Amino acid sequence: MECRDAQFYLRLRRHTGDELGTDVLADLNRHLGGCAACAADARVADSFDRAVAAAVGNVPVPSGLRDRLFAEASAFRGGVIRRQVYRVSAVAASVLLAMGIGFGAFFATRPKIDTNLMVMAADQQIQDPETLIQQWLAYHRFPDRLPESFNPELLMSLGSERLQGADVPVAVFRHPDGPGFAKVYIFATDGTVNLDGLRVANASHTMAQVIADPRQYRGVKYVIIHTVHPVGPHDNPLKPFLRPGRDVASS
């Protein structure tokens, strides 16, 4: 190492660590060992560095600075708390608002029951059951008449029945002379319900008829469950529930 390089490195050498790298320091020390002038410069440089380092650290720190910084930290902490409170409040307000809107929508759209409408419908069932049946069929977009000429005056109810996992529209007619009923279930053939199992069936007091004529009744199949009553050998088994004079099977 030349004196010129040694002088440069002397200005970068530090008391702490060997940031110049072991190779450079080894070269430098080797040079200082053989060069009295640079060795003297090294001692002066060390002395100078120590003196400057001491002077750099010899700056009195204002006595109140720590307290002021602590106060600033407290103010910052207060700000953090306030922001958190604001944030929580904002979230709570948003939740309340959303709940309010949700409840409002729920209360606005929930079904409203009115007994006036109920008695009006009951009156219509008594006064004009045939129109009521037509309105009910139209509401469900079913063919505008039932598959048999049921006597509207025997109508008991129009509604739906939970049936083997499906809600099925059903019109119920009563027997004119005593216990007994005929239920007309209407199934849409839109694939939402598997109708492969629809077939004629009998039990001790009831029987099931299936009416499925796609040309006559488009988009639907009917299952009529009715109580069995004595009728003539050529009479329609549904005869008690049909209009007088319409007792011949239609299909």
Applying CB under 8 A, the residues found at the interface with other proteins are: 3-5, 7-12, 14-17, 19-24, 27, 37, 40-41, 43-45, 47-59, 61-62, 65-66, 68-70, 72-74, 76-77, 80-81
As measured in angstroms, the least distance from the Cβ of 36 to other proteins is: 11
CB atoms within 10 A of CB 39: 16
Identity of the residue numbered 7? Q
- Cβ-based nearer residue to other proteins, 3 or 248: 3
- Cβ-based nearer residue to other proteins, 59 or 108: 59
As measured in angstroms, the least distance from the Cβ of 89 to other proteins is: 17
- Cβ-based nearer residue to other proteins, 15 or 110: 15
CA 207/CA 201 separation, integer angstroms: 6
CA 164/CA 153 separation, integer angstroms: 29
As measured in angstroms, the least distance from the Cβ of 3 to other proteins is: 7
As measured in angstroms, the least distance from the Cβ of 94 to other proteins is: 24
The alpha helices in 13-62, defined as continuous H runs, are 22-34, 36-57
As measured in angstroms, the least distance from the Cβ of 91 to other proteins is: 18
What are the C-alpha distances in Å from 40 to residues 34, 43, 49, 248?
11, 5, 14, 136
- Cβ-based nearer residue to other proteins, 66 or 243: 66
CA 143/CA 132 separation, integer angstroms: 14
